[in-house]
A and B are shown apart, each in its own frame.
Chain A
Amino acid sequence: MQDRGSGIEDREEATAPNSVRGSILPHQSSILLNATAEDHHIARMAAVALGLTVLEAAIPSPLPGVKPGLANIVTLIVLARYGWRTAAWVSLLRVLAGSLLFGNFLTPGFFLSLSGALLSLLVLAFAQHLPSRWFGPVSLSIYAAFAHIAGQMAIVYLWLIPHAGIAYLIPIFAAAALVFGTVNGLIAARFMDNEETKQFGVP
């Protein structure tokens, strides 16, 4: 192996004698990923969601797990404007990148976020087909919030704390899901409204 290795180096020097100052990286190669406009868009929205996640981490919470879930606003807007597939990308990228940022990748906290995100995406996949004349972002947000907490409680009960005592926390989480789901839905609706009026040039 060693012989082969040095052989390659020799050849490298022979073929490119005066290459970049003794060539710091003899086998330098670049991998080019062709990112489409949609990829850029997903990345941008995921970054916004990530920003909201970081912002939210600074808000003190009375009970671990009770969080406003501001990043879901982004998911809702993306769902309404670009469809479920893009929303799923944004949501899951946010979970992954957020866990890397906070250093809890593959820890229980990561799986809690992931299960919550997956279940709320699943519910949104069905809820998005509700007639939009009657059901707006507020409904979707509430359903997603309930699904989120259901996914998390399932992980907590099945894996982390298999004890009936956690049932006592369910009403608190459910109430929080209802309140924050409504607020997030209203914020999302407000944003979408602004975008629409801007598009039509109405201030």
Chain B
Amino acid sequence: MHALRHIRPGDWLTLLSGSVCVMWLTLSLWSGELADKAVIRSGGKIFREVPLSRDQSIEVPGPLGVSLILIQHRKVRIASDPGPRQYCVRQGWLEHAGEIALCLPNQVSVELLGSHKRYDSLNY
């Protein structure tokens, strides 16, 4: 074809890597439901519902003490918890809707919600 004459070998490489980049972006951004807000529960009752747009740290009181929840760059984690086994702390950052971290001894949980719920719960 006439126009293809202007495409040099490296240009094909650029085109290929550009296509891979677009495909990767599509797969990664359109697959998982991004979370909008975090629901923090304490003792089974909703303690607070916070949007993920603002970075903040929230102290949640429980029977054992205070659990510290961090919101940063649209991700949530439990930074510290008085529980003995620290499962919820070691779970790390949560970012997709449906993900949940439970601190059972302290009866604190944080769950991420998106615009619609695809899963009841996600765990890895």
Contact = CB atoms under 8 A, between A and B. Distances in A.
Interface of A: 130-131, 133-139, 142-143, 146, 162-165, 167-168, 170-171, 174-175, 178, 181-182, 185-186, 189-190, 193
B10 interface: yes
Interface secondary structure of A, over-half rule: helix
Contacts of A178: 15, 18-19, 22
Interface of B: 3, 6-11, 13-15, 18-19, 21-22, 25-26, 29-30, 34-36, 52-53, 74
B4 to A, nearest CB: 9
Contacts of A170: 25, 29
Given A134-B10, A142-B15, A167-B29, 5 more contacts: A131-B10, A137-B6, A138-B11, A139-B13, A164-B34
Contacts of A135: 8, 10-11, 14
Q: Which of B14, B34, B53 has the most CB of A within 10 A?
A: B14
Nearest to A175: B22
A202 to B, nearest CB: 15
A171 B53 contact: no
A164 B52 contact: yes
Given A134-B10, A138-B8, A168-B29, A190 B3 contact: yes
Contacts of A136: 6-8, 10-11
Contacts of B18: 142, 146, 178, 181
Q: Which of B10, B36, B53, B74 has the most CB of A within 10 A?
A: B10
A89 B69 CA distance: 49
